[in-house]
Structure 1
Amino acid sequence: MEKLFYPAIFHEAEEGGFWVSFPDLPECLTEGDDMQQAYEMAVDALGISLASRKEDGEIIPKPTEVNKIDAEDGILVVVEFDMMEYQKKHNSRAVKKTLSIPEWLNEEAVARGVNFSQVLQEALMLKLNIGR
């Protein structure tokens, strides 16, 4: 999954700052003291919402085209989100995997001090065309 771009509506709050809603994700709401903080909070809220949907096996909706959104009394802003970067930042705990390799290859790798976990991670990232 590459970068995603979701439309958000930034509403001026009565007490100052902004509150943010996403037309495609009704559960995704946040706020900030100013536009910059509201945008940063919107990126985080979008990440939590999309990652939660992905984890629960729910459909991740396609972003609505911006020309089809009525911003009403707010400001329409497109929020950029990178699922891979979010996963790296928030879901990097180690997972134990069991695998099998030929005995001779294991002996040679152990003799040369190969870090199996590192080699597997590098090979998987290469195979999946994922940069570090």
Structure 2
Amino acid sequence: MGKLFYPAIFHKAEEGGFWISFPDIPECLTEGDDMQQAYEMAVEALGLALVNRKEEKEEIPVPSEIDRIQEEDGTLVIVEFDIQEYLRKHNSKAVKKTLSIPEWLNEEATAMGVNFSQVLQEALMNKLNIGR
């Protein structure tokens, strides 16, 4: 799963700023003092909602087609969310892995001062086509 694009409704708040709702994710609401902050908060709120659904093994909704959304009292804005970027930023906890390699390879790599964790991370990112 790479970048996702979800429609959001930006509503003008009476006291200024905006409050944001997502038609496809009713529990996802946020607000911001101006358009820039509102958009940034919308990205963050969308991330929290989608990651929470993923962790709870709930369905990740397919974004609605924009022509099917009724923006009653607000402005329709498409919010871009990069789940890989979000997880890198918010979930960088190290996980211990046990693996086996041939003894001769271990000796060569140890003699060269190779950082096994770094090599494995780089190899996995390359294999999964995930950029840094």
**Corresponding position of 1:24:** 24
Equivalent positions of 1:1-132 (< 5 A) are 1-132=1-132
Please give the TM-score of this superposition, normalised by the length of structure 2. Answer: 0.97
Runs of 4+ in 1 over 2 A off after TM superposition: none
Q: Secondary structure at the match of 2:57?
A: coil
1:104 to partner: Cα distance: 1.3
1:112 to partner: Cα distance: 1.1
Q: Secondary structure at the match of 2:79?
A: strand
- Supply the distance in 1 between the matched residues of 2:23 and 2:77 (Cα, whole angstroms): 11
- Supply the distance in 1 between the matched residues of 2:53 and 2:102 (Cα, whole angstroms): 40
Q: Aligned pairs, how many?
A: 132
- Supply the distance in 1 between the matched residues of 2:119 and 2:17 (Cα, whole angstroms): 48
What letter matches 1:40 in structure 2? E
What letter matches 1:57 in structure 2? K
- Supply the distance in 2 between the matched residues of 1:61 and 1:105 (Cα, whole angstroms): 46
Please give the TM-score of this superposition, normalised by the length of structure 1. Answer: 0.97
What letter matches 2:118 in structure 1? Q
Q: Secondary structure at the match of 2:107?
A: helix
- Supply the distance in 1 between the matched residues of 2:92 and 2:79 (Cα, whole angstroms): 24
Q: Secondary structure at the match of 2:26?
A: strand
1:55 to partner: Cα distance: 1.2
1:29 to partner: Cα distance: 0.1
What letter matches 1:58 in structure 2? E
1:23 to partner: Cα distance: 0.3
- Supply the distance in 1 between the matched residues of 2:79 and 2:123 (Cα, whole angstroms): 32
1:76 to partner: Cα distance: 0.6
Any stretches of 5+ residues in structure 2 without a counterpart?
A: none
1:16 to partner: Cα distance: 1.1
- Supply the distance in 1 between the matched residues of 2:42 and 2:4 (Cα, whole angstroms): 13
Identity percentage over the alignment? 78
1:102 to partner: Cα distance: 1.1
Q: Secondary structure at the match of 2:14?
A: coil
